[in-house]
Structure formats: C-alpha cells, structure tokens
Structure 1
C-alpha cells in the first residue's frame, strides 16, 4: 500500500473522531489490520477498501488512483487463484485416504489373484515392508492434503508454495512405492491424481 493511502486513511479516521478499534468494529476486521493499513505495513483488500470508502463517505477513487486499483485487483485475483489451487491440491491429496478402503491391491491365493483393501493386503503379507511402505506413502499424502485444505481455508499464504511442492513430492513417492510393490490399479489411480494436480498447477502459473 502506498504511503499516500496510509496517510489518507489515518486523516479520514481522525477527522471523524474515530479510533482504530471503532473502524475495525465497523469493518469486522482486527485493530491490528487497521493499524497496519495506517502505517503502510499492510493493505486492505478490495472488499475492505470499498467498506472504508462507505464508512468515510468518499469514493474509492479518492483513496486510490486508477493504476493502484488495477494493481490491487490483479493481486487479489492472483491470491484468489492461489487459494483455489491450494484447495484443489488438498482435496486431490485427501482422495488418497480412499486408497485404504478400496479393493485396489492384488492378493495371491493359490492359483488366482483377488483384489483386496489395504488392510486385507497387509494381512496377506503379514504387514511386512511392502505394506508399511504403501501405508506410510498414503498416510503422508493424506496428511499433506489436510494441511493444504486448512491453509487454503484460513488463507495461510506465506508457506503455501512450499507445502504444495511437498505435496507433489510425496505423491511422486507414493506413485513410485505403488509401482515398486506391483499394484497396477492403485498406481494408475495415484498417477491420475498427480496428473490432475499438474494441470491445476499449470493453470495457476498461467494466471
């Protein structure tokens, strides 16, 4: 936010004899947010900017120039796209929890092979290393997915990119593990989720 805007907000508030707490209450934001706007340490989003204009009975153009408004709108759109993308990543990762309950794993019984759930597969191999690797890979994918969804909902943006990369890496590992343990159905589905994430990520980069 420009210094000019921060000064305007402070001046308008003082002209109307309002405290930062009162402004915050009117806009349903924290007093800390208002303080940051007035000191240049943060910037209001478009909704808050419009609310400020109504509160102080001025036009948005009086608070920000046309060029600044375009920049703010562009940044808002990018943030919205990132939040939506992170949410999509999280939901795709959370689908990995279904892998534990679907009959995707081949279990050999005498002369034939039947499809079983992950737990049934675990019993068939006495919960040895192949089962442990798959269970850890799926659990890690689901945990990262839950974290991505939470970050998207609460708009925790600073670490979003790093968590997204971790999510990609964990899912790649899951594909490798499922391939190494010779589980074609589970591998195909996990790879499909990875491709879907790549498509979402590509669209995010283009935006």
Structure 2
C-alpha cells in the first residue's frame, strides 16, 4: 500500500503523528486545504495536527487511515493512541457539558409560564406567571423578557455549537452563560422576586460546578 510502503521505506514509523501526516500529505501532492476538504474538516484543524497542537478525533483518524491506506496503529505511536483516547474522552465530556449549559439556559423559556412571581392580592401575595402579573411596571416586564430571551437564545446557540472547535468559543461560552445567570439573579434579587431569584441562583451553582469539573 502506498502510505505504508513510503513510511516503512523511509523508516518513518518512528516519527510522530504530525510528521507522518505532513509526509503523507506531501507524497500525495495535497495542500492542507485540499486535505481538509477530503477529510471534511477545516484547514485550521489540519494545521493544528501538523504543528503538533492536537490529535484528530476517531472519525478523522479513520478518514486519514482510509485516504492514505495506512492503519491507525501505524499512524500513531502507543503514547499517541493513549493521548488520542484521552482527548476523545475530554471532547465528549466537553460536548456534554455544553449541551447541559444550553439546556439550563433554554430552561429560561419555562420561566415565562410557571408561577414564580409574587403578585399582591389584597392582604396576600400569590404566585403567578410572568405574563399574569398585573401590577408589574412595563419597564420591569421588558427587563425580564430581555434577560429570559437573551439567555434562551444563547442556550439554543450552545446546543447547536456543541461540537464547535473554535478556541475562543470553547474557552469562553461558559463565562457568557454564567454571566447571563448572574445578571438574572441580581435582577430578581433587586426586584424582590425571591422564588425566581432562588432558581437562578441554583442554576448558577450548577453551572459553576460543571465549569470546575472541566479538564
């Protein structure tokens, strides 16, 4: 097979994965952009692999193996196989955490309709939904709708981008999510809505726990 023959002939099985990938790509006359197109990944991903800043996930490794007619065992050393497995595990855990962040944020849509807001009714305060409040000032209603709306939309974006490899997004979306929850918690504390403030506070605690657990 072309890939195996060339690697063995040049004693390149001792090379690291990034060096093997560069060699195989150049032997096949491909640019990074062309290789990325054949593997259905971004050119940035190929550049990262070739500069030894990460390893492909299992699906990309299978695609590379098929493209160059070489086994995964010949592409990766023993240590690299362990590293790739650990990387895959971390990526799966990160995707799950992103989905959970997204679900918690989308949950804000529910807060429009469940009775978590206090409404004065004679000598009593009864629990009502947001849109059932009659004494709420219009500017406060707008503030509540805005914070719920922005957080919910951001949650949908998080779910859609659960597998996004952009470094800025991966690093910062938990901070954006927690910042929105902090803003909501403070808003409801200041407007003296203890029930919804309590729920927002616990969402913040859970998000903080998820963030502390990430590798």
Normalised to the residue count of structure 2, the TM-score between the two structures is 0.74
Counterpart-to-counterpart distance in 2, 1:72 and 1:97: 38
Corresponding residue for residue 144 of structure 1: 154
Q: Which has the higher contact order (CA 8 A, sep 6+)?
A: 1
Counterpart-to-counterpart distance in 2, 1:2 and 1:84: 28
Task: Report how many aligned residue pairs link the two structures.
Answer: 196
- From 180, 186, 199, give the equivalent of 1:176: 186
Q: CA deviation at 1:145?
A: 1.4
Unaligned runs of 5+ in 1: 15-19
Q: CA RMSD in A?
A: 3.1
1:105 aligns with 2:121: no
SS for the counterpart of 1:58 is coil
Unaligned runs of 5+ in 2: 1-16
Corresponding residue for residue 72 of structure 2: 60
Q: CA deviation at 1:143?
A: 2.4
1:107–1:113: 8 Å Cα contact kept in structure 2?
A: yes
Change (3 A) 1:57 1:177: same
Normalised to the residue count of structure 1, the TM-score between the two structures is 0.77
Change (3 A) 1:30 1:118: same
Q: CA deviation at 1:169?
A: 0.9
Counterpart-to-counterpart distance in 1, 2:67 and 2:24: 13
Q: CA deviation at 1:40?
A: 5.4
